């Protein structure tokens, strides 16, 4: 009896499906037609508009990056004993554009300098990766500098960075980064000759090289060093290497020394890119 009831039930369901099937198919077709119509009417235009917005955003990002790389304020930091790669503000997004504009004002130099210092630890991994990538033959030394920074051994880190800066510069351009023209106290850096019109690309780099010498690069015979207290605390490369400065080992000076290497890596990469372009143009 149970089997007969089940059979009748299945037979009824089967007949119902047969009667409803054509209408279901038709309904599905109608839904599909309406869906396609809605896609053409609403969704496709929305996609097109979104693509336009994305294209505009990407263009703005490119323009923003060019703007950041041309910041005139970088050269002002040289007077505060910095040589700075534009990479220090690469992580600033368009949402921070107001802050970037503020950095271009001389009156906000304190704010810009503080940003460079406070953002370094979050950038550190990227900075050392960049140094290793650019200075492959010095990777073991860069690793040592990284360890010294992590261990707060700044007295060892700073002279090591300065030695490398001179060696890297000589290796690439036949002149030490700290080498000078003439014998006057305010002589120019020889590396200043790497002018934007000749070998470099970005104004942000060449404008820094064109600035008067700072505490790092100034002649150790400068009259200011007659003051023993100034001399013993100086970040001057010559005074540190030759043991005259004895209180230079702090975190800010360590960051300055590391970012000098990052700056020189920019110098290497931009010089190489331009040289490659010139070779390609002569073929």
* Radius of gyration for the alpha carbons in the chain, expressed in angstroms and rounded: 32
Instruction: Decide if 248 contacts 233 (C-beta within 8 A).
Output: yes
Coil vs helix vs strand at 210: coil
User: Phi and psi at residue 189, in whole multiples of 5°?
Assistant: -70, 135
Q: How far apart are CA 1 and CA 53, in angstroms?
A: 70
Residue 263 has pLDDT above 80, yes or no: yes
Q: In the chain, what are the domain boundaries?
A: 70-282
Q: How far apart are CA 132 and CA 168, in angstroms?
A: 13
Please give the torsion angle defined by the CA atoms of residues 187, 189, 190 and 195, in that order, rounded to the nearest 10 degrees.
Answer: -120
Mean pLDDT, range 187-194, rounded to an integer: 66
Tens digit of pLDDT for each residue in 143-157?
999 999 999 999 999
pLDDT on residue 17: 53
Write the CA distances from 76 to 69, 148, 237, integer angstroms. 14, 29, 20
Write the CA distances from 49 to 34, 45, 95, integer angstroms. 22, 6, 22
- How many residues in the chain? 283
Q: How far apart are CA 157 and CA 64, in angstroms?
A: 34
Mean pLDDT, range 194-202, rounded to an integer: 56
Query: Residue 187 gets which letter from DSSP?
Result: P
Partners of 189 in beta bridges: 180
Tens digit of pLDDT for each residue in 58-94?
555 555 555 555 554 788 889 999 999 988 877 666 5
Residue 275 has pLDDT above 80, yes or no: no
Contacts of residue 20, defined as CB under 8 A and 6 or more positions apart, other chains included, come to none
Query: Residue 42 gets which letter from DSSP?
Result: I
Write the CA distances from 283 to 134, 184, 198, 200, 277, integer angstroms. 27, 44, 20, 21, 10
- Whether this prediction's pTM lies above 0.85 is answered by no
């Amino acid at each position: 009896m149970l089997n007969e009831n089940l059979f009748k039930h299945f037979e009824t369901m089967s007949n119902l499906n047969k009667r409803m099937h054509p209408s279901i198919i038709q309904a599905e077709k109608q839904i599909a037609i309406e869906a396609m119509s809605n896609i053409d009417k609403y969704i496709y235009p929305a996609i097109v508009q979104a693509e336009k917005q994305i294209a505009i955003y990407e263009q703005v990002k490119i323009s923003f990056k060019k703007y950041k790389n041309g910041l005139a304020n970088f050269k002002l930091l040289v007077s505060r004993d910095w040589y700075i790669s534009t990479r220090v503000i690469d992580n600033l997004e368009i949402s921070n554009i107001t802050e970037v504009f503020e950095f271009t004002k001389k009156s906000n130099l304190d704010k810009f300098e503080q940003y460079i210092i406070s953002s370094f630890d979050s950038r550190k991994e990227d900075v050392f990766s960049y140094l290793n990538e650019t200075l492959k033959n010095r990777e073991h030394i860069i690793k040592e500098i990284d360890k010294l920074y992590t261990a707060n051994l700044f007295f060892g880190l700073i002279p090591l960075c300065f030695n490398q800066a001179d060696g890297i510069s000589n290796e690439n351009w036949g002149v030490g980064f700290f080498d000078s023209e003439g014998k006057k106290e305010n002589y120019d850096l020889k590396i200043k000759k790497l002018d934007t019109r000749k070998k470099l690309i970005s104004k942000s780099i060449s404008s820094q090289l064109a600035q008067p010498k700072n505490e790092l690069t100034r002649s150790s015979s400068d009259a200011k060093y007659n003051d023993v207290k100034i001399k013993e605390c100086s970040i001057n490369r010559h005074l540190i290497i030759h043991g005259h400065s004895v209180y230079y080992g702090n975190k800010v000076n360590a960051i300055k020394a590391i970012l000098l290497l990052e700056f020189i890596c920019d110098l290497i990469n931009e010089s190489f890119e331009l040289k490659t372009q010139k070779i390609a143009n002569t073929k």
